[in-house]
Amino acid sequence: MAIAPKIRIKISDNDNDPANTEIHVPSGFTIAQYATFANDYANAIDDIALGRVDPKGTMTIPVDISGLTGNTVDPNSDVEQVAAFQFIDTNGEPVDINIPGLLLADVVAGTDGLDTADTEIAAFITLIETGNGTVAPCSVSEADITSTLYARKETRASGKKRR
């Protein structure tokens, strides 16, 4: 079953209060084709809205990850326990990735550091730094991620669970 991508446009009113409008589009087009449609969509919205259309629309491309193995909920899982990683790109800029529901066995005893020698943690870091052979993650400015600054446990404040 195809999962339709979504284009989101933000509009702000005179008080700078934002609101979003979204539209699904069929999958199978190029990024350039989606960008052209998003621009046309934003212009059509601008013609009928009194607010300011944000010049940075977003597009969400859903992916099917239903083939996960071992994807179960542990009775001790807690999304407030976070694996916090900070990577550095080729420009020296930080790239933060936070993974909720940290496996506490991956924390080095007596510290907040993650065991980067652990097979799964090392594999995650390698995937982020080098990619999977086809796609390699990058910073928001599309600079390559080159190294890991830190990998540690952080705890979100109580009541701050994301939904």
Residue 68 in domain: no
Whether 76 is covered by a domain: the verdict is no
Number of domains forming the structure of the chain? 2
Average confidence (pLDDT) over 50-62: 92
- pLDDT of 1 reads 52
The alpha carbon dihedral of 148, 156, 162, 56 has a sign of negative
In this structure, the answer to whether residues 87 and 124 fall within a common structural domain is yes
Mean pLDDT of 7-19: 94
pTM, full prediction? 0.75
User: Are 90 and 55 found together in one domain?
Assistant: no
22 vs 9: CA distance, rounded Å: 6
Q: Is the pLDDT of residue 161 over 60?
A: no
Tell whether the model's pLDDT for residue 6 goes beyond 90: yes
Query: Nearest-CA neighbor of 85 among 59, 106, 61?
Result: 106
Domain that holds residue 28: 6-60
Domain shared by 95 and 41, yes or no: no
Task: Tell whether 65 is covered by a domain.
Answer: no
Token pair, residue 127, equals: 């995937």
